Structure 1
């Protein structure tokens, strides 16, 4: 879970953990890149508006370094992603989850991502 707002990260991590998944937090895009370089993850829940390195910059970095996380599923979680959907789709973002969202939307999305090949 990558978000610069600590309260949002904590809520998301708890939700993901309650769904039976392990969750790791990153407070901004730079920390996300460091975590992705050090470990393997299946899904990244990523905010767009962050200091040091935005969510879009993280996705671009991943596309420039495909060896880092070739199978990573990227979900942008943002209240402001609407106008950026075409660019995000072009970058290969798997899904956009608009803030605020309901727990069931997250459950459905994680289920969908886990069944995609």
Structure 2
């Protein structure tokens, strides 16, 4: 990618290091930027320091899970301006209704596939978000 304005900044949040690093590598290979957080506490700290375009958020993490991060964002909307929240989880079945109530419109199944990421990036680029 040759234009910084078309680069998206992702925050990748997962308590499993291998998964976190794999998703970040996928983002970078697509020409975008990726910061990492190992749990919700680190994610909230990052969100307070930096504006992101997309957060790839694991649902189940110790200390502070994905739902808690979304609740925090809802309570602190100034840190989520323009942020697209995408929950990445191995299981979301019974949590989908709660996530929808919290405003999460996108839940993707683990493992995240390159094609899913490409589609997500295309939907998230400036001028294409609804």
TM tier, shorter chain? over 0.9
Indicate the residue corresponding to 1:57 in structure 2. 68
Which whole-Å CA distance do the structure 2 matches of 1:38 and 1:80 have between them?
Answer: 30
Aligned length: 117
Q: Could you list the runs of 4 or more consecutive aligned residues of structure 1 that deviate by over 6 angstroms after TM superposition?
A: none
Which whole-Å CA distance do the structure 1 matches of 2:78 and 2:112 have between them?
Answer: 32
Q: Name the TM-score, length of structure 2 as normaliser.
A: 0.86
Greater per-residue strand proportion: 2
Q: Name the TM-score, length of structure 1 as normaliser.
A: 0.95
Indicate the residue corresponding to 2:3 in structure 1. none
**Which runs of 5 or more structure 1 residues have no equivalent in the other structure?**
none
**Which runs of 5 or more structure 2 residues have no equivalent in the other structure?**
1-11
Indicate the residue corresponding to 1:116 in structure 2. 129
Indicate the RMSD between aligned Cα atoms, in angstroms: 1.0
Query: Quick check: 93-102 or 26-35, which moved more?
Result: 93-102
Report deviation, 1:107: 0.9
Query: Quick check: 97-106 or 6-15, which moved more?
Result: 97-106
